[in-house]
Amino acid sequence: MKGMVFTEFLEMVEERFGIDMVDDLIERADLPVSQGAYTAVGTYPHEEMVSLVTELHKATEVSVSDLLKTYGEHLFQRFVVGYPVFFENLDSSLAFLENIHDYIHVEVRKLYPDAELPEFRTTRVAENELHMHYISERHMEDFAEGLILGCFKHFEEDGSIQSDKQGDGTTIFVVKVNSVK
């Protein structure tokens, strides 16, 4: 995973739980490669993120699922600030989600050729409904759901998400926009 994912996670932890929590997580988590020293452009094992989230769960008693969703929402807002070009000419969350695989991930690969990105396949089934297949060996579907929630917030839409884990690393999200705020 790219280091930016780790640095932003630790920034979110600091904002929500304080710097002491960040220090405690780094001390308790199993971080054999980084030793807790992340750079935004580095690449680190996915297992280190799992360890950090697990330790945060133990310390806060917030479910791992909720922590990952919250982090997804947080990171989406960072993407809005850091990569505004990804949002140009897009006026809705569904339009944005349809562009992840064929445009956004192509651009990400230009910036980070070694990035290990999940695969997204989308099918628009109605004007306000999209089916998104999330495919990843890392099983970060709760994080992906948080990114979708962050997308709704960015486009000021009221939406809903249903997820169906397929067991093979694929999760199907049924994403509906109920109304624009």
54-82 burial, b if ≥16 CB within 10 A, otherwise e? bbbbeeeeeeeeebbbbbbbbbbeebeee
State residue 169's pLDDT score. 83
21 pLDDT more than 60:
yes
Give me the chain's average pLDDT, please. Answer: 93
Question: Residue 123 is encoded by which pair of tokens?
Answer: 């099918």
Show me where the domains of the chain are located: 3-62, 91-180
Question: Residue 100 is encoded by which pair of tokens?
Answer: 């992840």
The helix/strand/coil state of 169 is: coil
CATH class of 91-180: alpha beta
Helical ranges in 29-137 per DSSP H: 46-60, 64-82, 93-98, 105-111
Average pLDDT of the segment spanning 58-79: 97
